[in-house]
Amino acid sequence: MMGRHYLAGLLLAASILSGCAVVQKPIPATSAIFEQKESTVVVAIEKMPEPGQVMLGSQGLLDIVINRANAKAIVDRLQTQDFSQVSGLPQSFRSGLESRQIKVVMIDAALDTETMPKFTEGSGEGIALRDYRPLAKQYKADKLLLITPRSLGTVRSYYGFMPLGAPMGYIALTGQLVNLSTNKLEWYDRVEVQTAALGEWDQAPEYDNLMKAVDESTRGAVGRLRGSFFMEKASPTAAPLAGGSAPATAVSTQ
């Protein structure tokens, strides 16, 4: 039974990178979003996941135990990593909306979407999975801008207990704009960025180069998600220095 649970976790982790489990395709933002000056947008973020290492590849139960034990030092270090750029995304989106003369209401606490009912009056692409319509009355808002941090930390591939490469910085985020009258999506994007460390990565206990790669992935993912919504190009990052991180690589989710 436990083996099935581990297998399910691995399949879920694999889908994070491959995108094979994604039903909803990206919905690009349009200028019409920012022309509706009378709209009020409620901005929220879901609970931040525990920083950790996504482990991909073919692994048995014993392999997983070994690989998790070997990754523990990295995971412990990730607990002290600064992910405030991700947690600060609601304020960043708020500033961008207000600079376009759109009224914003903030939900200060993390939104627990798991406690919200699924939307049952329609399904398929372009429809939010959860029924967010009650938020319209609760916050006197027309739309919901929801940010979902899906993975924070690193990723590494394995064959059994053998690593197939070095761990890489890895950040996965989702953003969506929901019309609270219809529960339809007006913008939807999934951003995944992975970055290889430059130079030696196995520098326990601080893992300086690997954490720089995590930082690079964080900056890249945050910039891409915000740029997707506001239809802006993410600011280019500076050329990496020796012992820093390799250029971030966006992972397609389509």
| Domain segments of the chain as ranges | 26-192
Task: Give residue-wise pLDDT tens across range 212-251.
Answer: 999 999 999 999 999 999 998 765 443 343 345 566 666 5
Is 186's pLDDT higher than 80?
Answer: yes
Distances, alpha carbon 86 to alpha carbons 89, 93, 104, 224, in Å: 5, 11, 19, 12
Residue that wins the pLDDT comparison between 9 and 161: 161
Closest CA to 53 of 196, 154, 170, 164: 154
Percentage of residues in the chain with pLDDT exceeding 70? Answer: 82
Question: What ranges in 102-244 are assigned the alpha helix state H?
Answer: 134-139, 208-230
Adjacent-strand bridge partners of 178? 144, 185
> Which of 48, 77, 86, 50 shows the shortest CA–CA distance to 219?
86
User: What is d(CA 170, CA 167) in angstroms, rounded to the nearest whole number?
Assistant: 9
- Fold designation for 26-192: Rossmann fold (3.40.50)
**Residue among 141, 153, 231 nearest 189 (CA):** 231
Q: Which has the minimum average pLDDT: 105-114, 127-136, 197-206, 227-236?
A: 227-236
77 Cβ partners below 8 Å, 6+ apart?
205, 206, 207, 211
Whether the bond into 236 is cis, omega within 30 of 0: no
220 CA to centre of own chain: 11
